[in-house]
Structure 1
Amino acid sequence: MTDRTPPRLLGPAEVRSLASELDLRPTKQRGQNFVIDANTVRRIVRESGVDASDVVVEVGPGLGSLTLAILETGARVTAIEIDEVLAERLPRTIEEYAPDQADAFSLIRADALRVTSVPGPPPTALVANLPYNVSVPVLLHLMALLPSLRHGLVMVQAEVADRLAAKPGSKVYGVPSVKAAWYADVRRAGAIGRNVFWPAPNVDSGLVYWSHREPPSTEVSREEVFAVIDAAFAQRRKALRGVLKPLAGSADAAEKALVAAGIDPLARGESLTVTDFVRITESLPKVLS
């Protein structure tokens, strides 16, 4: 067996050359900010913990900067790209910059939010520079769709990274924090400067690492629990007794459900864990029956 030549990574000159070739004008609508620094994509891959045993899903590969760094580990990559121009060029970029790894790369031309399956071996990792305008919905959709995922690292807007990794009691703890905790243990994994992107975004970026954990054991559905979470944070300054009234039918019924779940009716959603929300959801049908 012959040794494979490692991929060549993209730098500022290569990114701008590819963009010029494609007459590419990055759009805010699709959150297109391309990483132009090889050290940054290597850092992202290193922090993700991906190795040659992984099958990686990447969302929004763009011109291929991060894709090439993932292939450098020996992992397989399935990239999901919505932009037709970028999707058309990417396989050729992989052939040019990573010819020995091209057989480990596949592409899905689609909106990641509308993907219903990922062909090939079950993915084990998600590594992506997520489009900032849809980062949380995409992350939660793929976590739900692909239970084979064991770990991952995503780059998102810094404030979103803080929310995803927040713990109960934090000022930024909210819906993304609780829903992500349904699937995984989540933590902040560092910050990324604006100067490693082209064009430079007007927001700071953060890395979020997550590792899979089994969802809470419950007889109610994830959708039911998530509906309670949404209601609890719709008016985050109000006590749960009031904000859960529409789901319970009355404030008294909401209070009974909270007491049955062992939760203070005057507590707020920002103080509860995902397991607390499961207990509340399980108590609601009993109160209403």
Structure 2
Amino acid sequence: MKNGEAYYGRVFRKRRFWPQIFWLMVLSAGCGFSCIFNSTPLFIASILAAFLGLTESSRWSHKTNLLICASTAVIGSVCGVFSWFDTASIFFLLVSVGGFMLYYRDTGKKFMAALGKFSSEISKEKDMAALLSAAADRIREMTSGDEVFITVADRSGAMYMPGRTGKPDSSIPRNGGAAWKVFASGRAYLTQKIESAKDLPFYRDARSLMSAPLFAEGEKIGVLQIESHVADAFSEEDLQKLELIAFVLSHPLYVKLSAEGGEKEEAQSDR
């Protein structure tokens, strides 16, 4: 992000050779100074910093970087500069940090797979009511039963909640609640503890919520909002995931809205 705006730079970065040399120099210098001053904390910090730097910027694999840093710790102990307990501590630290890196990578893969399945399932629905019902059910599964609300904007700028299974639509008054703030600003919103008079949730017993705008073809077409009866239920990471879900939902919803609007215009012209 630059000045709050998205940009395309460095999404796909080329792995260059010189960062590997830089981080190896950091590793060597840190270990050298830690031996001179007999500083175990500096030794540990140098190895951890080099491991993180190599993992982020080098061409080598995660296992290769782990092997380089672990070998450095072993060499320090073999040379008698540091104890084997220090080496064991460093190895445990490297494995823990590396494990968390792999965990977050695998979590991202699982989420992308879930998004692909979500997109495939909702795209099969024939009309808007079925689409919204299927989307709400799938998102509810992702959130372990929290309340899911999908609002839609009409051409006049008003918002309403489409009815499901034959029920009528319900309009949403311009009351300055969380949904209207998100729709007006075009930015996602998260609150860990709801202020009922300020946020005006749809679910009466809601204690926390997160909300994301629905965009398609450069137009704001609605809001996706999740509310929980538990305070502190959502995090910033959850909000980012909600924005991706809203992005996936927006396009099939826009197609259904356009088709429905065209049918209404044809019906009015026939009259």
TM-score category (smaller protein): under 0.3
- Of structures 1 and 2, the larger Rg is shown by 2
Which protein has the bigger strand share? 1
TM-score by length of 1: 0.24
> By percentage of residues, which structure has more helix?
2
